[in-house]
Homo-oligomer: A and B are copies of this chain.
Amino acid sequence: MPLLVVGSVALDSVETPKESRDNVLGGSAVYFSYAASYFTSVRLVGVVGEDWPPEHTDLLNSRQIDTSGLTVVPGEKTFFWKGKYLPNMNDRETLEVQLNVFGDFQPKLPEDFRRCPFLFLANGSPKTQLNVLDQMTGPSLAVADTMDLWIREEHDSLMQLLSRIDGLVLNDSEAKLLTGEENLVLAGHQVREMGPSFVVIKKGEHGAMFFSKHETYVLPAYPTEKVLDPTGAGDSFAGGMMGYLAEQRDFSPTSLKMAMAYGVLTASFTVEDFSLKRLQHIERDEIEIRMQQYRKMLSF
């Protein structure tokens, strides 16, 4: 089933303790759609400037990602993010942000995208996310991501969004910020009580937690000894998760747990190189092989 993602498309400069990359392909909707493309057909809505290298669009198209909703604005520049990872490769600081064309992003969905049954609202202003929801004609499953900035500065819109979506994906510090609760189990359920049927808390190198009315569980990250660049891991997680759900056309508890596992594994590839470099070199088979190892790891 087709899966629609609306979010940022960016050029990133990334510093890690060992290596750096300048102006590489990035953005939440890019990582999400590339990860999801292993499971289902993906439609991307985003905006870039005239500095956008067309080969990046070609790369997305090579995985059958529909980029007809990617607007190129002449005379403008693409969203740019520069960040630096601390030696633990989990914490990072943002060195520079140029919103550029993304600052005025008012997504207008192509007519044939509006009936998409699966929707992911990648991290963005809750007002914009609500605006996208308004354009949709009743998706079967709508899931959103958010971040500290919106929790702090657009709290009311975020609350409105939470009452209208099926699932929310956020990281551990954001869940604590949103609820004022330090215990992640309590925080997860408190976020769920704000509206969504399920909540996923991403814990970076420590995996992800799932909360629904009747279930609470944690899946660990896949242990990889090669972590070159964690950028995009969270969006790749969401892409693997939503991609699997769209493929299955099902979001039963069983399917959701499988989706969580696929999210974990898709993200485990992303961190093994900069940008999409690692994902570009895998096929679905490799995700399945890692799935077998992961299942074995969790069996006793």
Contacts and interface: CB of A to CB of B under 8 A. Distances in A.
Interface of A: 17, 87-89, 182-186, 189, 203, 205-207, 209, 216-221, 223-225, 227, 254, 257-258, 260-261, 295, 297-300
Among A186, A299, A300, chain B packs the most CB atoms within 10 A around the CB of: A300
A207 B220 contact: yes
A218 B218 contact: no
29 contacts: A17-B182, A87-B182, A88-B182, A89-B182, A89-B183, A183-B225, A183-B227, A184-B205, A185-B224, A185-B225, A186-B225, A203-B206, A206-B206, A206-B207, A206-B220, A207-B218, A207-B220, A209-B223, A216-B223, A217-B223, A218-B297, A219-B220, A219-B298, A220-B220, A257-B300, A261-B300, A295-B300, A298-B298, A298-B299
Nearest to A209: B223
Nearest to A260: B300
Contacts of A209: 223
Nearest to A215: B297
Contact of A300 (B17, B206, B221, B254): B254
